[in-house]
Amino acid sequence: MNHEIESIGQPLDRVDGRLKVTGGARYSADIPVAHVAYGVIITSSIAKGRVVQMDTAEATALPGVLAVLTPFNAPRLAKGSIEAQSAQQAQPTGGGQQSGPPNRKIHLLQEADVFYNGQPIGLAIADTLERAMDAASRVRIRYQEETPTLQMKYELTHAYKPQGMGGRPTPPDSRQGDIDLGWRSAAARVEATYVTPAETHNALEPHGTLAIWEGDHLTLYDATQGIFTVRKRIADLFELPPDNVRILSYFIGGGFGSKGPVWSHVGLAAMGARQVGRPVKLVLTRRQMFGNVGFRGETNQRVRLGARQDGALTLVKHDGIVQTSAYDEFVEPVGANTKMLYACPQIATSHRAVRINSGTPSYTRAPGEASGTFALECAMDELAYRLNMDPVEFRLRNYADTDPENGKPWSSKSLKECYRLGAEKFGWSARSLQPRSLRDGDELVGYGMATAAYPTRRSPASARARMLPDGTAVVQCGTQDIGTGTYTVMTQLAAETLGLPPQRVRCELGDTDLPEGPHSGGSQTAASAGSAVYLACQELRTKLTMMAINDANSPLHGVPASEIRVERSGLYTEGNRGESYAALLRRQGTPEVEARADAKPGEEQQKYSMYAFGAHFSEVRVDPDLGRLRLARHLAVFAAGRILNIKTARNQFMGGVVWGISMALFEETQMDPRNGRIVNADLAEYLVPVHADVPKIEIGFVEEHDPFVNPIGVKGIGEIGIVGAPAAIANAVYHATGRRVRELPITLDKLL
The tens digit of pLDDT for each residue in 548-574 reads 999 999 999 999 999 999 999 999 999
Q: What is the pLDDT of residue 447?
A: 98
- Distance (Å, whole) CA 340 – CA 610: 11
How far the first Cα of the chain sits from its last, in Å, is: 62
Q: What is the pLDDT of residue 97?
A: 41
Asked if 619 and 735 touch (Cβ cutoff 8 Å), the reply is no
Q: What percent of the chain has pLDDT over 70?
A: 98
Burial 672-682 (b: 16+ CB within 10 A, else e): eeebbbbeebe
Q: What is the pLDDT of residue 511?
A: 98
Predicted confidence (pLDDT) per residue in 695-739, tens digit: 999 999 999 999 999 999 999 999 999 999 999 999 999 999 999
Domain span at 174: 156-199+295-457+606-750
Catalytic residue among 146, 369, 719, 743: 719
**155 catalytic residue (yes or no):** no
Of 222, 253, 285, the position where a domain reaches its end is 285
The mean pLDDT of 503-511, rounded to a whole number, is 98
242 and 139 co-located in one domain:
yes
pTM exceeds 0.95 for this model: yes
Q: What percent of the chain has pLDDT over 90?
A: 95
The mean pLDDT of 149-164, rounded to a whole number, is 95
- Distance (Å, whole) CA 93 – CA 530: 24
Q: What is the pLDDT of residue 96?
A: 37
Please state the domain count of the chain: 3
Predicted confidence (pLDDT) per residue in 463-506, tens digit: 999 999 999 999 999 999 999 999 999 999 999 999 999 999 99
Q: What is the pLDDT of residue 92?
A: 38
Q: Which amino acid is at 397?
A: R
Bridge-based pairing of strands 188-196 and 299-307 is antiparallel
Q: What is the pLDDT of residue 95?
A: 34
326 and 315 co-located in one domain:
yes
- Could you tell me the sign of the dihedral formed by the alpha carbons of 171, 173, 178, 182, in that order? positive
Q: What is the pLDDT of residue 94?
A: 33
| pLDDT(356) > 90 | yes
Q: Among residues 242, 249, 222, 232, which one has the least CA distance to residue 480? A: 249
* 5 confidence band (pLDDT: 50, 70, 90): low
The mean pLDDT of 576-588, rounded to a whole number, is 96
* 167 confidence band (pLDDT: 50, 70, 90): confident
Asked if 220 and 247 touch (Cβ cutoff 8 Å), the reply is yes
Q: What is the pLDDT of residue 89?
A: 54
305 and 266 co-located in one domain:
no
Q: What is the pLDDT of residue 380?
A: 98
| pLDDT(35) > 70 | yes
380 and 515 co-located in one domain:
no
515 and 431 co-located in one domain:
no
The domain that contains 193 carries what CATH number? 3.30.365.10
- List of residues 6+ apart from 472 with CB closer than 8 A: 500, 504, 505, 506
**Quick one: the chain helix, strand, coil %, rounded to 5?**
25, 25, 45
Residue 4 lies in a domain: no
Residue 12 lies in a domain: no
Give CA torsion, residues 164, 167, 169, 170, to 10 deg.
Answer: -70
Of 534, 568, 600, the position where a domain reaches its end is 600
Q: What is the pLDDT of residue 99?
A: 52
Q: What is the pLDDT of residue 4?
A: 45
Q: What is the pLDDT of residue 2?
A: 42
301 and 237 co-located in one domain:
no
Q: Among residues 79, 62, 80, 83, which one has the least CA distance to residue 71? A: 80
Residue 409 belongs to what H/E stretch? none
Q: What is the pLDDT of residue 410?
A: 98
Asked if 83 and 16 touch (Cβ cutoff 8 Å), the reply is no
| pLDDT(88) > 90 | no
Predicted confidence (pLDDT) per residue in 618-645, tens digit: 999 999 999 999 999 999 999 999 999 9
Mean pLDDT over each residue of the chain, to the nearest integer: 96
474 and 437 co-located in one domain:
no
Residue 3 lies in a domain: no
Residue 258 lies in a domain: yes
| pLDDT(291) > 70 | yes
| pLDDT(93) > 80 | no
- Distance (Å, whole) CA 365 – CA 256: 5
143 and 166 co-located in one domain:
no
